[in-house]
Amino acid sequence: MQQFEKEYRIQNHLDHKNLCKVEGPLLTPADLKYPRLNSNGAAFAVESLSGGQLFDFVSFSGAFEKDLTQYYMRQFLAGLNHMHKKSIAHRDLKPENLLLSDEFELKIIDFGFSENKLSCANMKWCGTEAYMSPQLMARAPKTDVFKDDIFALGVIFFILMVGRPPFVSAMKDDRYYKPIYKGLYKEFWKAQENMSGTEFDEEFKQLFTMMV
């Protein structure tokens, strides 16, 4: 219940068109009058998002065109920037947590792991492995949670542009992450371009490299 109340409080505190909005109050089991709901349960309503997951579109179509990637990355960045200005880190960014409205406007969802940056010094290890920063993967006792979000943003950016993840996880023994870990970015991009059979846009390569 306490964790759910925190998620509600954080999501209700945020107000941006690219963040999923709360619609109504936090409801306790007593409010719901549902006998099977245990005493730790709660619920709250959010806006309806009928456009589906961004992940589904990438899975179906493969890599997006540059213009479409820019369109969604601008919205993604706008929503994330609003969170960070409010001192809130998301901590579980991934394509499955990016939904689309019926007008295909991007919305960041699922604030269950979100925290105020000031209270994150000793937070537990969390998130989804493929999008975790190397500091999180190494179980560092303290990480910059905003940088962790930017790392996940970079992985998602790569998926939109290329149609697949850049590596399995940000570990030095991961075959495709190892060149990044060693600072061998030319080697990383050579391997990625060989795998895709095409050369990537220089601006894309620079932006991705800066994020990770």
Total structural domains within the chain: 1
CATH number for the domain that contains residue 74: 1.10.510.10
- Domain annotation covers residue 7: no
**CA triple 14-16-21, angle to 5 deg:** 65
Axis crossing angle, helix 185-196 with helix 202-211, rounded to the nearest 10 = 120
- Domain annotation covers residue 6: no
Please count the CA atoms within 13 angstroms of the CA of 23 that sit on its side-chain side. Answer: 6
- Domain annotation covers residue 44: no
Model pLDDT, residue 35: 55
Model pLDDT, residue 211: 96
| Burial class of residue 165 in the structure, from the number of CB atoms within 10 Å of its CB (0-12 exposed, 13-18 middle, 19+ buried) | middle
What backbone torsions phi and psi does residue 130 show, to the nearest 5 degrees? -65, -15
- Domain annotation covers residue 28: no
Model pLDDT, residue 46: 81
Residue 161 vs residues 95, 194, 197: alpha-carbon distances, Å:
13, 15, 14
- Domain annotation covers residue 10: no
- Domain annotation covers residue 22: no
Does 174 qualify as catalytic in the annotation?
no
Taking the chain (212 residues) in runs of 10, the rounded mean pLDDT of each run is 79 94 78 60 80 91 94 98 96 95 95 79 69 84 85 97 94 92 94 94 95 94
- Domain annotation covers residue 32: no
What end-to-end distance do the CA atoms of the chain give, in Å? 35
The domain in which residue 106 lies consists of 49-211
Model pLDDT, residue 208: 97
- Domain annotation covers residue 18: no
Model pLDDT, residue 36: 58
Which one from 31, 67, 92, 102 is the annotated catalytic residue? Answer: 92
